[in-house]
């Protein structure tokens, strides 16, 4: 007889005490119940607009007019000697941007003509031009951005946030994922709970029909009969939990209960009948190009209204190795209305101050040219660039109407105020009231955290 069997079957003494303790575990509170932050928080929730593939910062947020005099020619080795490139040789020719930039709003934040919607909310966003990461390819870059490590199996930021704070929504998951485009390189690893209990992983929602497949009952199954079945399953699971003490069993119990509640609340989430025509038009839901992403942005707003802690929008693909001008224009046309409307709508409803919005990819694009079809002059694109790329943030304790960080005149390297991915993660957690040094989970004999062994809060961008 092993120790577990002894404690489970022994009818008195230590066995009785152990059984009582495990039975108490079966009645443990909901792991997604709201928890107190480490310190006073500005943000209650996060909406992460993930532009998978790496948007071109020098065509959108960080103009480099000096590239024009080098356009079509190799650059001096002093600029390219330390480049980490996925596909392009450092001797490739410079590629100037044809985009037109202008200072926007009262703050004068400089934004490309490809983003006319974002230009209208320039005073509400903070553009960070000095992002950097170690990863030069998509999957490692996405792992680093969301889990703080290029290794698989780590919890992602949404999982860490719900682990640290729970959720204010009783009828929806604490961490919701919405997708548009043709999928991401990282896939589910971008919203995994890793070694945290599976309660904290992201739940994928669709933006039409049932938010989750098979959420509705089949014909002939009433809500009362379903409730009776779930009660029986819950009793069996609680007996199993009392016997083994496995937290994944508790997570399973909670997932069944949450799914039951979602059957009533989730369909209402997708019902836009109470949204005005002006709101739907603002998000671009009535336009073919912007409908998918715009719908997800409106859903994100409705999710945080209902207390969901972390919403992630994955939009693919910004990986412009070829046909840069055409592909980048298409991606901006698909997403600009939705992302700018989200900022404007959150502000209108008084939710922007309590919602941290983050926009960006896993890295940026090179100042030099990648040409995969030499016979097509319009084929030029840009390779992956992990140094000196741009992201923007809004609301949730971040200053609006500012630009932070600088890159050199050609956009190769950061010259002022570097922001590592771990710094971004530490800052996001800080806005939510979480100390990234204290938000830990013991696994394999040591404490892990989202920011791994790094991370500094970027205090100059905080309000």
Q: State pLDDT tens for residues 151-172.
A: 999 999 999 999 999 999 989 9
Query: Is the model's pLDDT at 198 over the cut of 60?
Result: yes
Percent of the chain with pLDDT over 90: 70
Please give the span between the terminal C-alpha atoms of the chain, in angstroms, as a whole number.
61
For residues 49 and 460, give the distance between their C-alpha atoms in angstroms, rounded to a whole number: 22
For residues 404 and 130, give the distance between their C-alpha atoms in angstroms, rounded to a whole number: 7
Give the global pTM.
Answer: 0.86
Q: State pLDDT tens for residues 235-275.
A: 787 777 777 777 777 767 766 666 666 666 667 888 899 99
Task: Determine the pLDDT at residue 196.
Answer: 96
User: Which range, 210-219, 231-240, 431-440, is most confident?
Assistant: 431-440
For residues 6 and 48, give the distance between their C-alpha atoms in angstroms, rounded to a whole number: 49
Task: Determine the pLDDT at residue 3.
Answer: 55
């Amino acid at each position: 007889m092993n120790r577990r069997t002894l404690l489970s079957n022994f009818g008195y003494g230590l066995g009785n005490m152990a059984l009582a303790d495990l039975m108490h575990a079966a009645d443990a509170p909901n792991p997604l119940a709201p928890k107190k932050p480490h310190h006073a928080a500005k943000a209650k929730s996060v909406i992460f607009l993930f532009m998978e593939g790496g948007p071109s910062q020098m065509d959108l947020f960080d103009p480099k007019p000096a590239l024009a005099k080098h356009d079509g020619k190799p650059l001096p080795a002093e600029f390219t000697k330390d480049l980490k490139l996925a596909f392009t040789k450092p001797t490739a020719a410079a590629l100037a941007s044809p985009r037109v930039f202008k200072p926007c709003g009262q703050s004068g934040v400089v934004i490309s003509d490809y983003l006319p919607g974002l230009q209208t909310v320039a005073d509400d966003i903070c553009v960070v031009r000095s992002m950097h990461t170690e990863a030069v390819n998509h999957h490692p870059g996405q792992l680093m951005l969301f889990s703080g490590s290029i290794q698989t199996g780590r919890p992602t930021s949404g999982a860490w946030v719900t682990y640290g704070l729970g959720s204010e929504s009783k009828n929806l998951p604490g961490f919701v994922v919405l997708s548009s485009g043709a999928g991401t390189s990282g896939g589910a690893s971008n919203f995994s709970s890793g070694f945290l209990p599976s309660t904290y992983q992201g739940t994928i929602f669709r933006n039409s029909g049932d938010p989750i497949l098979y959420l509705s009952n089949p014909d002939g199954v009433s809500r009362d009969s379903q409730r009776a079945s779930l009660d029986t399953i819950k009793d069996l699971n609680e007996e199993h939990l009392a016997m083994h003490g496995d937290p994944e069993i508790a997570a399973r119990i909670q997932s069944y209960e949450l799914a039951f509640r979602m059957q009533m609340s989730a369909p209402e989430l997708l019902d836009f009948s109470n949204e005005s025509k002006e709101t739907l038009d603002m998000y671009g839901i009535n336009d073919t190009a912007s409908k998918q992403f715009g719908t997800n942005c409106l859903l994100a707003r409705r999710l945080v209204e209902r207390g969901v802690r972390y919403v992630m929008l994955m939009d693919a693909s910004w990986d412009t190795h070829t046909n840069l001008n055409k592909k980048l224009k298409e991606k901006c046309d698909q997403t600009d209305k939705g992302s700018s409307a989200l900022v404007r709508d959150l502000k209108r409803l008084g939710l922007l101050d309590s919602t941290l919005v983050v926009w960006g990819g896993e890295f940026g694009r090179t100042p030099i040219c990648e040409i995969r079809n030499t016979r097509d002059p319009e084929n030029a694109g840009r390779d992956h660039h992990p140094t000196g790329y741009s992201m923007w943030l809004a609301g949730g304790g971040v200053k609006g109407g500012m630009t932070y960080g600088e890159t050199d005149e050609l956009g190769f390297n950061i010259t002022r105020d570097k922001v590592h991915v771990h710094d971004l993660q530490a800052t996001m957690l800080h806005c939510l009231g979480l100390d990234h040094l204290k938000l830990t989970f013991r696994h394999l004999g040591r404490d892990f955290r989202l920011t791994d062994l790094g991370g500094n809060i970027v205090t100059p961008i905080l309000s």
